[in-house]
Amino acid sequence: MTPGRVPACAWDFPDPADAPPGQDLVVLGADLAPGTLVEAYSRGLFPMEVDDHGTLGWWSPDPRGVLPLDGLHMSRSLRRSARHYSTSVDSAFDAVMQGCAEKRPDAWITAQFREAYGELHRLGWAHSFEVWDDDGALVGGLYGVEIGGLFAGESMFHRARDASKVALAAAVAALGGSPAAAEGRLFDVQWRTPHLASLGVVEVSRADYLARLNSALRLAPRLSDHGRGITGRARST
């Protein structure tokens, strides 16, 4: 499936390269229309609400968390856990977003966000990785936005041990696959937390991120033609 065309963005976003070093929040306002989101991610920005009134903030963290596609840390326990799950791509996008929303005490994944990214998914720009147990229950997943060689991971969740990590491993396998296939691709995770650092996430400066982004956007997307509902045992390598 090739991503569908989206209307031109109606907003003139500032260049995050001009933001003061270390200032993550770049600008306020705009909307969550598909064209707005595609334009923002292409510029290195992503949205999060900044108050209870739904005001959108557009962020470009400095430093930025990225996961090298050859740098995922697969512990022995994670490899064992992976054998007990199956994974799929784009089989339950809305359910994955709901799972992520339920796991966020600050509730930033609002109904507005679920509707906006659901539409982006139906247009072929947003994707999910699902993790299923042997009873067919959805126990973990992650979702994000793919534009060219950029995959901007938004959130992940788990309802069973290591299920979110298995979803992350499935995403890395689908996006990278081999060192040659991973060349120039960018897996963005926004901020590096201690948990993500334990999985191999590193920090890069905003300038470095934007340079990598510019190169990644020239590549063809991988997930858009991946097919929906592809299932299999979780990969442990």
Question: Does residue 106 register a pLDDT over 70?
Answer: no
Token pair for 174: 């689908």
Question: Does residue 231 register a pLDDT over 80?
Answer: no
Q: Please name which of 190, 85, 206 lies closest in space to residue 138, comparing C-alpha atoms.
A: 85
Report d(CA 40, CA 47) in Å as an integer.
8
At 234, the pLDDT band (50, 70, 90 cuts) reads very low
Confidence at residue 181, expressed as pLDDT on a 0 to 100 scale:
82
pTM of this structure: 0.92
Confidence at residue 236, expressed as pLDDT on a 0 to 100 scale:
32
Over residues 101-130, the mean pLDDT reads 90
Write down all domains in the chain, each with its CATH number in brackets: 64-233 (3.40.630.70)
Cis peptide before 68 (omega within 30 of 0): no
Token pair for 28: 């306020």
Q: DSSP secondary structure string, 28-72?
A: E-----HHHHHHHHHHT-EEEE-STT--EEEE--SSEEE--TT--
Phi (first) and psi of residue 30, to 5 degrees? 70, -160
Segment 132-182, tens digit of pLDDT: 999 999 999 999 999 999 999 999 999 999 999 999 999 999 999 788 888
Report d(CA 1, CA 138) in Å as an integer.
24
Q: Please name which of 165, 170, 172 lies closest in space to residue 196, comparing C-alpha atoms.
A: 165
Segment 30-61, tens digit of pLDDT: 999 999 999 999 999 999 999 888 899 999 99
Q: Which of 13-17, 42-46, 73-77 has the lowest mean pLDDT?
A: 73-77
Q: Which of 64-73, 99-108, 180-189 has the lowest mean pLDDT?
A: 99-108
At 225, the pLDDT band (50, 70, 90 cuts) reads low
The pLDDT mean for the chain works out to 91
Confidence at residue 4, expressed as pLDDT on a 0 to 100 scale:
82
Question: Does residue 6 register a pLDDT over 80?
Answer: yes
Over residues 72-83, the mean pLDDT reads 92
Q: Is 184 left (phi over 0), alpha (psi -120 to 50) or beta?
A: left
